[in-house]
Amino acid sequence: MRKKIVAGNWKMNNALGQSIQLAEEITEQLASINNEAVVVLIPSFIALASIEKIISGQKNIFLGAQNVYPKMNGAYTGEISTEMLKSVDVKYVLVGHSERRDLFYESAEFLKEKIEALLQADLTPIFCCGESLTIRQEQKQEDFVRIQLEKSLLHLSAKQILNCVIAYEPIWAIGSGLNASAEQAQQMHQFIRETISEKYDQVTANSISILYGGSCKPDNAKSIFSQPDVDGGLIGGASLKAKDFISIIQSI
């Protein structure tokens, strides 16, 4: 049975004290609810070590990182390695987020290198994929997402891909005022699962968690998470408020 996962991507928000306070609030509220979902907190790098101490020993709550560089060490100013992330007990790492692709020009080949480095280090990549509004309007979203998967992820063996998580981000629904319906989310998640099945087999496809990452909020989380191929969410803005994040977790 595949995992239900809710991951909070805090992006470039919150100074250290704010991050600690938010992690403490989320951890405290999680302890008071009965929920079996895997929860991943993905703060900025400066907060990783502090938050690891807060969540250490807590059931089903793990630490994630927003980025990684695929080399072990060296003259790569401003970057962070898998070894560094593991030293503060990071378990999950985002790869291919739309902001990294668009703002920092990360290529499919570079993302492929990141995934391989993470798997070699026994870290779990959360591989992000998704289309722009233009691609959606041209009804080419499935072809676009298939290419993203093929170029960066589907070169893996069946054993390797079982150690990955996929997050579908409809870029056109992030901070744009537009919302993807639960049906649209399900259609793409089903397509992604079918694509994995074609490459590997149905058992493999049914074992991979696919998260939804397009402006998921407390008021739409339940309808989205109720879809058969949606296994949770990669939450942005709503993860910065403990009450909203907990509400989303309870919707799964």
**pLDDT at position 180, please?**
85
Q: Does domain 5-250 have CATH number 3.20.20.70?
A: yes
The predicted-structure confidence for 48-67, as pLDDT tens digits, reads as follows 999 999 999 998 999 999 99
CA angle 224, 28, 225 (to 5 degrees): 5
Say whether pLDDT at 177 is over 90: no
Q: Assign 34 a pLDDT band (cuts: 50, 70, 90).
A: confident
**CA–CA gap between residue 213 and residue 118 (Å, rounded):** 21
Q: What is the mean pLDDT of residues 136-158?
A: 97
pTM over 0.95: yes
**pLDDT at position 176, please?**
67
**pLDDT at position 19, please?**
98
Q: What is the mean pLDDT of residues 6-27?
A: 98
Indicate the average pLDDT of the chain: 96
Bridge-partner residues for 90, per DSSP? Answer: 63
Residue 20 amino acid letter: I
**CA–CA gap between residue 142 and residue 1 (Å, rounded):** 26
Closest CA to 211 of 13, 3, 1: 3
97 is catalytic: yes
**pLDDT at position 185, please?**
96
Contact in structure between 229 and 212 (CB atoms under 8 Å) = no
Say whether pLDDT at 214 is over 90: no
Q: What is the mean pLDDT of residues 126-147?
A: 97
Q: What is the mean pLDDT of residues 210-224?
A: 94
Tell which wins on pLDDT, 156 or 31.
Answer: 156
Say whether pLDDT at 109 is over 80: yes
Q: What is the mean pLDDT of residues 191-201?
A: 98
Catalytic residue chosen out of the listed positions 99, 106, 169, 189 = 169
189 is catalytic: no
Catalytic residue chosen out of the listed positions 97, 99, 106, 131 = 97
Contact in structure between 248 and 221 (CB atoms under 8 Å) = yes
- Asked which of 15-19, 119-123, 216-220 is least confident by mean pLDDT, the reply is 216-220
10 membership: H or E segment, kind and range:
none
Contact in structure between 96 and 121 (CB atoms under 8 Å) = no
